[in-house]
Amino acid sequence: MSLRLPFAVALSLAVVPAALAQEGATDIGERLLKDGAVQAALAHAKANEAQLLDDQVRICEVEAPPFKEEKRAALYKQMFEQLGLKNVRIDRIGNVLGERPGLAPRPHLVMAAHLDTVFPEGTDVKARREGTIIHGPGIGDDCRGLAVVVGIVRALDAARVVTQGSITFVGNVGEEGLGDLRGVKHLFNEELKGKIDRFVSIDGNALGITNVGVGSKRYRVTYTGPGGHSFGAFGRANPVHALGRAIAKVSDFDVPRQPKTTFNVGRVGGGTSVNAIAFESWMEVDMRSSDKAALASVDASFAKAVDDALIEENARWNDTGKIAVERKLVGDRPAGLTPPDSPIVVAASSVTRVLGNTVRLGEGSTDSNVPMFLGIPAVTIGGGGASAGSGAHSADEAFDSTDSWKGTQRAILLTIALTQK
């Protein structure tokens, strides 16, 4: 349904005179719940959760591999158009945008979910239902978020909710892996530069609130050499062997538990044949921490491991056919923080609590890292559903839809809260 503003305003439904100033955020959930239109929107969400789950499956059955989100973006754009959002478009980088004007252009809230998955082109994306469980690659991360965005628009329209500020709904590209947050970086640096007052990413399942942005460094390391026959050229340094040395060193890294600091060799490759000394080997590595110093430290250890592996492999084979290494930074996610006492986190906690859910603040590496780094109020929230055994980023990913309407309701209430002045 498209919203006819004067009519809706005449009904003076959800134009709640509540403020999201620091002092107003604590009980914003309670105050919004007193409004009839807000209640109607929440009731609509609960009654129509089955339709939302259908959307979730429909979105998920259109593949969206890294850097190839176009097909899913086209479907999502069509969905935005059918919802009656204004100025629906795909921006230069591939994000889908649609606007829902409020009484004033500001505050301007962006509600986003990411289009991309971690799965390569050609992955079987057919979803399978088994009771309350839906199986499918990406079904929770982040088809859930994409579907909840659609559910928010439907519920607001069905209940004729008029918001104080305006909302842009976004399906963004490039959240996962080497996408390096390029969709949201583009939003903040170009498409909506200077125009975003608050940002929410709905990502994955359960009801967590992420207010700490874990930074990451990602590298693609390539060892290269002359290669040769495994028998005839025996004695030359081998890029695959150097890679093995490097991985062994990385595997033994000591990292702090608090703040949680991690490392992972995610992909490896190289070589041409079982009976050839490789001319190339490579690996992709990800390191993370919410603490800048800890991240810098593991980053330095990594650089040393890569270089030492090269030196050792070259030293092992007295000078015949030296190999080289390139360490290329392919991902650099800024670390950031939205303070727990900031209005957006307090409001997110308030709407979570008032709907009977437990408030859990946490850290993660999400699209919100970008606004957090820029100092723009941002959180990432789960889209609902049970949290156990989701298997995100694995081909047997599952979404447990038990009481998943609670996630939809929480997202709706947060949307309304964050459009308050």
Residues lying near Zn ion in the complex (CB under 5 A) are found at 141-142, 203
User: Shortest approach of Zn ion to residue 271 CB, angstroms?
Assistant: 33
Residues 6+ apart with CB under 8 A from 149: 111, 112, 113, 169, 170, 171, 202, 411
In the bound state with Zn ion, the residue whose beta carbon lies nearer, of 55 and 141, is 141
User: Shortest approach of Zn ion to residue 229 CB, angstroms?
Assistant: 46
In the bound state with Zn ion, the residue whose beta carbon lies nearer, of 35 and 141, is 141
User: Shortest approach of Zn ion to residue 392 CB, angstroms?
Assistant: 7
Whole-number Å distance between alpha carbons of 138 and 118: 8
In the bound state with Zn ion, the residue whose beta carbon lies nearer, of 321 and 334, is 334
Cβ atoms of residues 331 and 286 within 8 Å: yes
Cβ atoms of residues 311 and 200 within 8 Å: no
Whole-number Å distance between alpha carbons of 174 and 180: 6
In the bound state with Zn ion, the residue whose beta carbon lies nearer, of 165 and 179, is 179
Q: Using only C-alpha atoms, what is the Rg of the chain?
A: 24
Cβ count within 10 A of residue 270: 17
In the bound state with Zn ion, the residue whose beta carbon lies nearer, of 52 and 283, is 52
In the bound state with Zn ion, the residue whose beta carbon lies nearer, of 141 and 286, is 141
Whole-number Å distance between alpha carbons of 119 and 395: 8
User: Shortest approach of Zn ion to residue 351 CB, angstroms?
Assistant: 21
User: Shortest approach of Zn ion to residue 139 CB, angstroms?
Assistant: 12
In the bound state with Zn ion, the residue whose beta carbon lies nearer, of 49 and 203, is 203
Residue from 135, 113, 116, 115 nearest 126 by CA: 135
In the bound state with Zn ion, the residue whose beta carbon lies nearer, of 15 and 118, is 118
Q: Is 364 helix (H, G, I), strand (E, B) or coil?
A: strand
User: Shortest approach of Zn ion to residue 142 CB, angstroms?
Assistant: 4
**Quick one: CA torsion of 21, 24, 26, 27, rounded to 10 degrees?**
-150
Distances (CA, A) of 268 to 223, 243, 285: 11, 9, 9
Residue from 176, 157, 172 nearest 86 by CA: 157
User: Shortest approach of Zn ion to residue 118 CB, angstroms?
Assistant: 9
In the bound state with Zn ion, the residue whose beta carbon lies nearer, of 113 and 192, is 113
User: Shortest approach of Zn ion to residue 140 CB, angstroms?
Assistant: 8
In the bound state with Zn ion, the residue whose beta carbon lies nearer, of 141 and 363, is 141
Q: Tell me the angle at which helices 405-418 and 143-158 cross, rounded to the nearest 10 degrees.
A: 60
User: Shortest approach of Zn ion to residue 141 CB, angstroms?
Assistant: 4
In the bound state with Zn ion, the residue whose beta carbon lies nearer, of 175 and 313, is 175
Helix or strand (DSSP H, E) at 270 = strand 261-270
Whole-number Å distance between alpha carbons of 109 and 377: 10
User: Shortest approach of Zn ion to residue 388 CB, angstroms?
Assistant: 18
User: Shortest approach of Zn ion to residue 179 CB, angstroms?
Assistant: 10
Which residues lie across from 325 on neighbouring strands?
223
Cβ atoms of residues 86 and 105 within 8 Å: no
3-state secondary structure 205-247: CECCEEEEECEEEEEEEEEECCCEECCCCCCCCCHHHHHHHHH
Which residues lie across from 166 on neighbouring strands?
108
